[in-house]
Structure 1
Amino acid sequence: MPSTLPSTECMLVVRTDFSDQGAWEAVRAAIGEPDEGGYLEDYMLGVEYVDDVTYRELPVEQVVGLLTDDYESSLLAVVDEATIRSPEMPIVLVDLNELNEEYGRTMRVVPAELPSIEVNVHIGNMDFFEFADNADEDGVFRGFPE
C-alpha cells in the first residue's frame, strides 16, 4: 500500500505512469514553459512533483485518498498513462475545494494551461468549474475560445 502524499502548500503533480521517462520529462518541461500572462515565476513556487514508483498505476481516486488532511491546494494533478501516451500530454486535474458542490470533479488539461488554472483558482479569481465547463468535447481544456 502506498504511503500518504507529501504535506505541502503547493499543488502536487503526481506521476502514476513510469513507462516513458522522456515523456515525463516533457510533461514537466511543458508545465514550466513561460505563459503570456507572466504567471510563471509565481506559479512555479506552487508546484511540487511526486516522482515515486510507489504510486505506479494508481487510479486518480486512490491518489486523492492518499492526500493528508493538511494538504492546502484545492487542486491535484495526476500524470497517468493517457498523459504519457498522448502527444498533447493532457494531465488529469482534480478539484479538491470542499466548498464546491462538485468536489472531486476531474478534467484533463494541456500542460500549457495548467499555470493559468492554478493561479486563477488559488487567488479566487475563477473556480474549477469555469475551466471544466469550457473543456472540449473530449474533456480536455485547451484554453478559452478567442
Structure 2
Amino acid sequence: MTRLPQPADLTSLVLRTDFADDDAWHALQEQIGLLDRHPHATFVSDPAYAGITAQAVVDIDAAAGDDKLTYLFLADATTMTDDENPLLAVDTYDEPGRTFRLPVRWYADVSANLAIGNVDFADFADAADGAGTYQGPDRE
C-alpha cells in the first residue's frame, strides 16, 4: 500500500479493518448515517486493510507525500463486536499514532469538529476516560 484512501470533502475516513461480519459493518454504516442529516463519513471496505494497526496506518500515511491525512477512524474487531461500536480514532498528523476510542453515538460530533478544525484531535484524546474512550462533552 502506497497511500491511504482520501475522504470526501468535510467527511472523515472510516476504514474497515475487521472482515469477520459483513452485517456488523453494514449496521455500523447505517448507525453513522442516522446520526445526522449531513454525511460525515467516507467508508472504505477493502480487504487489503484487513487487520491493519494504528501504527501501520501512521507509517503508510507518513510515506504519502502531499496526500497525507490528519486523522482517521478504524472499524476494527472491537468496533464490530462491542455493543457501543467504539471506533478507534487515530491521529496521523500532530501526534502520529495517538488514539482514542469513541462510541458510534459521538462519531458525528467528533468527525464534524475534526473535519473543520474546530477542535484538535488532542482535545478529544485528552478528554477520554481512563480506558481511553471519549464519552462525550459532558464527561470532559
- TM bucket, shorter chain: 0.7 to 0.9
Q: Distance in 2 between matches of 1:141 and 1:22?
A: 25
- Structure 1 residue 5: Cα displacement: 2.2
Q: Percent identity?
A: 34
TM-score, length-scaled by structure 1: 0.79
Judged with a 3 Å threshold, the aligned counterparts in structure 2 of structure 1 residues 124 and 63 are, in CA distance, closer, same or farther, namely closer
1:15 aligns with 2:16: yes
1:132 aligns with 2:125: yes
1:60 aligns with 2:54: yes
Structure (1 or 2) with the greater helix fraction:
2
The aligned counterpart of 1:104 is 97
| Paired residue total | 135
Question: Which string of whole-angstrom CA distances, capped at 9 and with x for unpartnered residues, describes residues 80-138 of structure 1?
Answer: 111112111111101233xx3x3331101111212211221232321112211221222
1:145 aligns with 2:123: no
CA RMSD, aligned part only?
2.1
Q: Distance in 1 between matches of 2:137 and 2:112?
A: 15
Q: Distance in 1 between matches of 2:106 and 2:67?
A: 22
2:110 maps to which of 109, 112, 117: 117
Runs of 5+ consecutive residues of structure 2 not aligned to the other structure: none
Q: Is the 8 A contact 2:12 2:115 kept in 1?
A: no
Judged with a 3 Å threshold, the aligned counterparts in structure 2 of structure 1 residues 47 and 72 are, in CA distance, closer, same or farther, namely farther
Q: Distance in 2 between matches of 1:64 and 1:29?
A: 27
